[in-house]
Structure 1
Amino acid sequence: MSNTINSFLFFGAAVSLLSYELGLLLKRKLKSPIFNPLLISIVVVMALLSVFKIKYEVYNQSAKYISYLLTPATICLAVPLYRQIELLKKHSKAILAGTLTGVITTMVTVLLLATVFGLNHQEYVTFLPKSITTAIAMGISEEMKGFVTITVASIIITGILGNIIAETVCRVFHITEPVAIGIAIGSSAHAIGTTKALEMGEIEGAMSSLAIATSGLCTVVFASIFANFL
């Protein structure tokens, strides 16, 4: 099967995009946060590769080109941020405090869990950048000699969970301030969570976009410090 599929130049990209479209369709029809389009597409692609015994390398030959759009897509998040620039200036101190709190909380949580589950140093540093955008996290993980592929997997899982539970968490804890919601989502669930923030409102989306960048920069600094704790 892999040899046959290998002759189709855009097989991997087509499967990825069609799986995501299926996820979008299910989300619109069922209207449940559990049916996250990214999660659905991951499950569908894994199922297809397993059932038809297609090697990952064959699938990735064309699917890898989709990942090239990750950085431009992240940069495009600057648009809603620019539209809310005055709000950014007004709440600059609160935004900085919220972002720092989110980053440090992530680091402390990873440290505690790594200690509880007896992870070694390499496994520990692998999870330190789990809550920031993939483009930055991969570089951090590689620099600290972590398992980059596991880092990417943890980032995707973190983002999907953040996307699914964001509204519920805000409702349970009575968080209604748009700036606070956006910073919380962006600093904990990066770009995948930001798609949910954009659905919740333009201010939430703008603040979440800002948090992606600031959290990434803060993580670069704090990850190197926390890496020495285990």
Structure 2
Amino acid sequence: MISTMIQTSIQHPLFGLLVTLASYQLAMELNRRTRSMLAQPVLIGTLLVVGVLLLLEVDYATYNESAALVWLFLGPATVALAVPLYTHLRRIRDYFWPLLAALLIGGFTTVLLTLGLAWLLGADEALLASLAPKSVTSPIAILLAEDLGGSPALAAVFVMITGVAGAVMAPGLLKLAGIDLPAARGFTLGLNAHAAGTAVALEEGEETAAFAALAMSLTGAVTAILLPLFYSLAG
């Protein structure tokens, strides 16, 4: 009887959506109660989803098909980040040149250090191409990795690891460094941890979220333009 109910639930067209939303809600509650940087909602939510799929022996294709609505709402949710951007447009203009310098220097340094360390550890060209776009959002990273000769699947994994690690570590490191300015905190989170960092910035406040959204958007655009150029010159 229980087995039949479980199978019926798995075959429901909204099974994946329910598991995703329930896991994230539990992760948010855990984060609220513990306030621990290790209880990062994206990290805990992902682990819960993976745990449920393994426990119920559900393959990724089945989960992905029933969680399609998550991807459907991802676009509008991303566009909605334009609201805090517009609200704090004056502040963004005031910091335009420092932000531009941070974007170019930070983005270049991130790629250079990543590729340099991976090369020293013996990574091949395909792995390097998959690692290079790790600091941008998944859709851009996947296309870039494929264009550079890397693995789109590996690129998606590296993006997720980068985002979760940045979201977990960045708030503590920023606090340790004494960086309290919302603009600086938000831009750092968006630059280094893309969507996951922007989610953390949203929890800190609207101004922090605005600068995180700006950094995430600009990093994706600049990387998409300059990374293939860098590869062509290096090759």
8 Å CA contact 1:194, 1:205 repeated in 2: yes
The SS at the match of 1:68 is helix
Matched, 1:92 2:96: yes
* Aligned equivalent of 1:25: 29
* Aligned equivalent of 1:42: 46
Cα distance in 1, alignment partners of residues 125 and 231 from structure 2: 8
Cα distance in 1, alignment partners of residues 199 and 25 from structure 2: 15
* Aligned equivalent of 1:131: 135
The SS at the match of 2:47 is helix
Q: CA deviation at 1:204?
A: 1.8
Identify the structure with bigger relative contact order (alpha carbons < 8 Å, sequence gap 6+). Answer: 1
Q: CA deviation at 1:138?
A: 2.1
1:225 to 221, 226, 229: 229
Matched, 1:109 2:126: no
Cα distance in 2, alignment partners of residues 153 and 72 from structure 1: 23
Q: How many residues are matched? A: 230
* Aligned equivalent of 1:184: 188
* Aligned equivalent of 1:58: 62
Cα distance in 1, alignment partners of residues 74 and 9 from structure 2: 25
1:201 to 194, 205, 214: 205
Percentage of matched positions with identical amino acids: 33
Cα distance in 2, alignment partners of residues 31 and 177 from structure 1: 21
Cα distance in 2, alignment partners of residues 151 and 196 from structure 1: 22
CA RMSD of aligned residues (A): 1.9
Question: What amino acid is the match of 1:82?
Answer: Y
* Aligned equivalent of 2:152: 148
Cα distance in 2, alignment partners of residues 107 and 171 from structure 1: 24
Cα distance in 1, alignment partners of residues 73 and 113 from structure 2: 31
Which 4+ residue blocks in structure 1 deviate beyond 6 angstroms? none
| TM-score for the superposition, normalised by structure 2 | 0.90
Cα distance in 1, alignment partners of residues 139 and 81 from structure 2: 14
**Unaligned 5+ residue runs, structure 2?**
none
8 Å CA contact 1:107, 1:226 repeated in 2: no
The SS at the match of 2:180 is coil
| TM-score for the superposition, normalised by structure 1 | 0.92
**Unaligned 5+ residue runs, structure 1?**
none
8 Å CA contact 1:130, 1:154 repeated in 2: yes
